[in-house]
Amino acid sequence: MTSLYTEKSVIGRLLTIFSSLFPSATRPTRHLLAWLLTAQLALESVPSVRCLFRQFLSKQTDASLNSYYRALGNGLVTDASIRQALALRALAIVPEALRQEPILLSVDDTSIAKWGKHFDGVGILYDHAKHDGKFYFNGHAFVSLTMSVPVLHETAGKQQIRYIAVPIGYVMSNGEASKLTLACQLLDEVMPILEKRQVILLFDSWYAKRELISRALSYPNLNVICYARRDTAIFELPTSTAGRRGRPPKYGRRLKLDEIPVAPENYPYKMDGYLVSHQLVKTHIFGDRTVHAYVTLSKSGSRRLFFSTVDPMALHMSTAWQESKTLRDTSSKLMTFYPLKLYKLRWGIETNCYEQKMFWELGSYKVRTKTAIEHLLNLTNAGHALMKILPYEDEKLSTCQDKRPQELRHALSRQIYKEVFFATLVSKAQSNINSSALLKALQALAWGDSQAA
């Protein structure tokens, strides 16, 4: 039956696109994993590999269920190659006119609750949000990476720059390596691809530690904007010691957070209801580098601390053409505060994790080994990422640029079932027509439409 899907059909094009994500695997393995991703789109869910096989794969391919399990556990299918392939596809949708615009990377971690005790790497985790009403739960922790790339989007007849947050992938944290080490691993995978780009790394206060910061700053084209703990040690710039004996000091006087003035008369800048102040400082986690410190003050009087190594005056960014009003509304006098606006784009990684858990059933996996779990999560992530990339890559899908990834998946799912029906009809019509087989094909089409609805 697979021979009936031509390269011009939706299924044929999807199989070609999905197969390109596994360059190091053998051809049969690439074929199986591509069909697995196609089944995820067709069913619009990932309840389990067994369910995908029973409901879709067994009717389209001759491979057994164990073949798909072996493909997921195949050592030649590296998650790093999947993540790098997604990064390359995300960069490919950036127009030539926007090659000098910054690429934004975001690092964060997420957790998935599991009832079973026999999964590799499962353990008791802390949940600060108390999603289940408790602080601790049994499950897995993952470190994720998102790449935000600029594209041209037409709004009211005017071309503007929109940033698309493309999820790159996940790495499981099972206690063998810290989350900081895994974040460095993800960074090392994509930075060779971004060697000639202007790159900015965004992360929250948990990752604002020397291990990740020093690795990030080892790349000459990479800058950092991060939220930091409010008790982080910050110092004034050292004063000149010319004419005095001894080694010059590395740091000046230590500052307290409330010593950086935040008042309208001192810094007449307000963002999202917060007063913002700025000062050049030194801090231990950035070593000898001078960084920009931003302190925000809320109406309740709470302060937050942010650091940036981005020189606002040296930032190559077309601010006037940004689609986001926050990024577009600025002036040369207020460019000092622009890195704090860029930090807001980190929210894209939170949105991706939410969508994948709510609409892509990211946590429904039932495989047990660490390799298979990471493969399945990265495959689900790849399907979600491609739904964000394809509207800017394929002109036939350009009308879906303003739609959510779930809406595009729904449209593709309906088209997949229509092609499955016609392929079944053709295969049965080549011999004596079997009315019961055609009836089953019609039932499958009707079932597919009801599922899509």
pLDDT, tens digit (0-9, with 9 covering 90-100), for 15-58: 999 998 888 888 999 999 999 999 999 988 777 888 889 999 99
In this predicted structure, the answer to whether residue 243 has a pLDDT above a threshold of 70 is: no
pLDDT confidence of residue 452? 42
Question: How sure is the predictor about 263, in pLDDT bands with cuts at 50, 70 and 90?
Answer: low
In this predicted structure, the answer to whether residue 324 has a pLDDT above a threshold of 80 is: yes
CA 282 vs CA 50, 200, 235, 246, 248: distances in Å: 55, 20, 5, 20, 14
Question: Poorest-confidence range of 46-60, 233-247, 391-405?
Answer: 233-247
pLDDT tens for each residue of 338-393: 999 999 999 999 999 999 999 988 888 888 888 888 888 898 999 999 999 999 99
| Average pLDDT rounded to a whole number, residues 156-179 | 90
pLDDT confidence of residue 25? 86
pLDDT tens for each residue of 277-322: 888 999 999 988 999 999 998 888 888 999 999 998 888 888 888 8
Question: How sure is the predictor about 74, in pLDDT bands with cuts at 50, 70 and 90?
Answer: confident
pLDDT confidence of residue 438? 59
Question: How sure is the predictor about 257, in pLDDT bands with cuts at 50, 70 and 90?
Answer: confident
pLDDT confidence of residue 212? 96
In this predicted structure, the answer to whether residue 129 has a pLDDT above a threshold of 60 is: yes
pLDDT confidence of residue 117? 80
| Average pLDDT rounded to a whole number, residues 199-212 | 95
- Residue-averaged pLDDT of the chain: 85
User: Comparing 114 with 220, which gets the higher pLDDT?
Assistant: 220
Percent of the chain's residues with pLDDT above 70: 88
In this predicted structure, the answer to whether residue 433 has a pLDDT above a threshold of 70 is: no
User: Comparing 77 with 425, which gets the higher pLDDT?
Assistant: 77
Question: Poorest-confidence range of 85-99, 374-388, 423-437?
Answer: 423-437
pLDDT confidence of residue 453? 42
Question: Poorest-confidence range of 151-165, 383-397, 425-439?
Answer: 425-439
pLDDT confidence of residue 57? 92
Write the CB contacts of 295 (distance below 8 Å, at least 6 apart in sequence).
Answer: 257, 260, 262, 276, 277, 278, 279, 303, 304, 305, 306
**How much is the pTM?**
0.88
pLDDT confidence of residue 24? 82
In this predicted structure, the answer to whether residue 449 has a pLDDT above a threshold of 60 is: no
Question: Poorest-confidence range of 72-86, 271-285, 419-433?
Answer: 419-433
In this predicted structure, the answer to whether residue 128 has a pLDDT above a threshold of 80 is: no
| Average pLDDT rounded to a whole number, residues 80-89 | 93
